[in-house]
Structure 1
């Protein structure tokens, strides 16, 4: 068990540290192959195939091949990856907050994501590397809000669930964490994140 006295601060990534837009992915795909965007977006975010990808059951190359086969389109892996990854915008104030907190607190990332996006965001947004424990669904082999995700986070970090402060924008994910004893905060874009953390006892 981790002997750290301070709590582990756990950040979701999407719409907490980075904004992301599936609509941008659709436009990106349509620019490459007119009419392909809608088909690919549905496969990526609305089917079992996409869920399996985020659970780490397919490689990026295998996912690309299967998406194109099902959509009936042709597109190089490089073009697919570039279009798929061109959907993120940094939330600079929140990344700055992560940088500051990581100097004084143990910090973690916990995101439902996939191998393609993970490799991209870790390279494109180096501030994410400030987190001591970078965790993602494809690495944990399961997705939030499954209780096993939070338990695996606890096991891998050594922090008990009751010694975490967790920020996510999905109410269902927050509720699942709370049922396990996590102090979970739901970021809705209205209350400043800095203020939410301060109320939770974090020295921001």
Structure 2
């Protein structure tokens, strides 16, 4: 999000850090992430709040700069896992990012189930979004492993009966998979 904050900060008296802080604390942030605000209304809201002069198309371009296109694993690893296990992406994200990711990131095809907060109307750590993923994957919580780089999100999955892994490095992730009996070769 730092990239997007930098783009939003252009021409403003706020630093990218101040922009990001304002976004995180914005009273409408959760509504945006959970799909209760349209992209155009979010653009208008932020333009007024931050004093931005970006038109909607410019805003969308800058907003999507927040996304990091580098997956944590190469397609080969994910492809092997996908042949043996049901895999899903569970993401707190907005409609603009979903549209961009779905048309840009090839690795998403390796996840047949993609659960986005803006489509479900709930975001992590709300149990609703995890239950939606379990239902879509047709598995019970006790059969699922949930990986996230946010510890509180992994703990929320554990409270529902899933096995949670906090992603830190690829090597630690593989070790955790092995502990749970998942073949990573």
Same fold (TM over 0.5): yes
The answer to whether the Cα contact below 8 Å between 1:43 and 1:49 also exists between their aligned partners in 2 is no
| Cα offset, 1:80, TM superposition | 0.8
Which structure has more relative contact order (CA 8 Å, sep 6+)? It is 1
Matched residue, 1:85: 64
- Report how many aligned residue pairs link the two structures: 182
Tell me if the contact between 2:151 and 2:166 (Cα under 8 Å) persists in the aligned partners. Answer: yes
Distance 1:51 1:188 in 2: 26
Q: Distance in 1 between matches of 2:130 and 2:85?
A: 19
Q: Given the alignment of the two structures, is residue 35 of structure 1 paired with residue 16 of structure 2, yes or no? A: no
Does the 8 Å contact 2:8/2:52 carry over to 1?
A: no
Which of 86, 93, 101 pairs up with 1:121? 101
Structure 1 unaligned regions, length at least 5: 1-21
Q: Relative to 1, partners in 2 of residues 1:149 and 1:134: Cα closer, same or farther, differing over 3 Å?
A: same
CA contact (8 A) 2:73 2:170 kept: no
Corresponding position: 1:105 with 2:92: no
| RMSD of equivalent CA atoms | 2.0
Name the CA distance, whole Å, in 1 between partners of 2:67 and 2:128: 28
Indicate the structure with greater strand content. 1
Quickly say closer, same or farther: Cα 1:188–1:94, change in 2 above 3 A.
same
Shift of 1:137: 0.8
Post-superposition Cα deviations, 1:87-142, rounded to whole Å, max 9, x if no partner, equal: 23333451423233123321101011111111112222111122111001111110
Distance 1:123 1:95 in 2: 19
List per-residue Cα deviations over 1:149-174 (Å, max 9, x = no partner). Answer: 21222223321111111101111111
**Structure 2 residue 174 is the aligned partner of structure 1 residue 194:** yes
TM-aligned CA distance change 1:72 to 1:30, over 3 Å: closer
Q: CA deviation at 1:26?
A: 2.0
Whole-Å Cα distance in 2 between the matches of residues 34 and 78 of structure 1?
A: 18
- The 2-side partners of 1:87 and 1:59 are apart by 18
**TM-score with structure 1 length normalisation?**
0.80
